[in-house]
Amino acid sequence: MKPKVLVLRTAGTNCDVETDVAFQLAGAKTDLVHIQNLISGNTDLSDYQILAIPGGFSYGDDIAAGILLAVEMKHKLRDALHQFVEKNKLIIGICNGFQVLVRTGLLPGIEGIKEKTELSQSATLAMNTSAKFECRWVELDTQQSQCVFTKGIKPQLYLPVAHAEGRFNAPNEVLAELASNKQVVFRYSNGKQSSSNNIDYPDNPNGSDADIAGICDKTGRIFGLMPHPERFLTRYNHPRWTREDLPEEGDGLAIFKNAVEYVKATFS
């Protein structure tokens, strides 16, 4: 089978095409779908195996980044999301999509959507400690986690970030539970030492607690990250591709390939 991916978009989304291309390169069939088509029932989420919430500035990031789209999803698509997750399907949120997943309560998802309890927000993505929009490439350390999207991935990745509200912030008890459950997927790194040493700006571009760049839920099937894997799919996306001997495949593509392979193995 060819896995089907719904790439969600709304006013302000601006990374949907790149995310669409990433999944196509990974071997999936993709549809770019406006959220109103889901709400109206013109498009049925159950027809897909992967939901991707791409980056951008949904609804202009009014009030806070991703919050309006999160409210819309939480209150207008609740049942559809429950059914989607209950059937062991995948969700990925990148940058603004990560902000949306955190603000819906789908991430960290410590309470668990399967229990059908009221989704509550237990973490946030706050303003960068630099108090400005950060657009740069960063080193990431891959953590041992439950995440389906990073199974067998290389230990260090190099990906770009572009955000103003990317500082992962959570109470100490939530941070401890994330670590205990192996829900931390990526940490920012300086490429020289373990990110557990709490690295400094600009290696940690936003001041995230525990250098967290990406997390998953307890099942490993819902994944959110601030860096943009869809912006490094081939060597030609790399900022030094003319000066370095790089592999043809960019570091980000493996994330999308893992999702596609999971669906093929699970639903075929």
pTM for the model stands at 0.95
DSSP assignments along 21-81, one per residue: HHHHHTT-EEEEEEHHHHHHTSS-GGG-SEEEE--B-GGGG-SSTTHHHHHHHHHHSHHHH
Cα–Cα distance, 155 to 124 (Å, whole number): 26
Q: Are 205 and 128 in contact (CB under 8 A)?
A: yes
Domain extent at residue 149: 4-267
For residue 113, what pLDDT is reported?
46
- pLDDT for 76-113, tens place per residue? 999 999 999 999 999 999 999 999 999 999 999 866 44
**What pLDDT digit, counting tens, does each position of 109-134 carry?**
866 444 445 678 999 999 999 999 99
Domain count, the chain: 1
What pLDDT score does 268 carry?
A: 81
CATH of the domain at 212: 3.40.50.880
User: Which residue has 């709400």 as its token pair?
Assistant: 39
Average pLDDT of every residue of the chain: 94
Catalytic residue ranges: 95, 228, 230
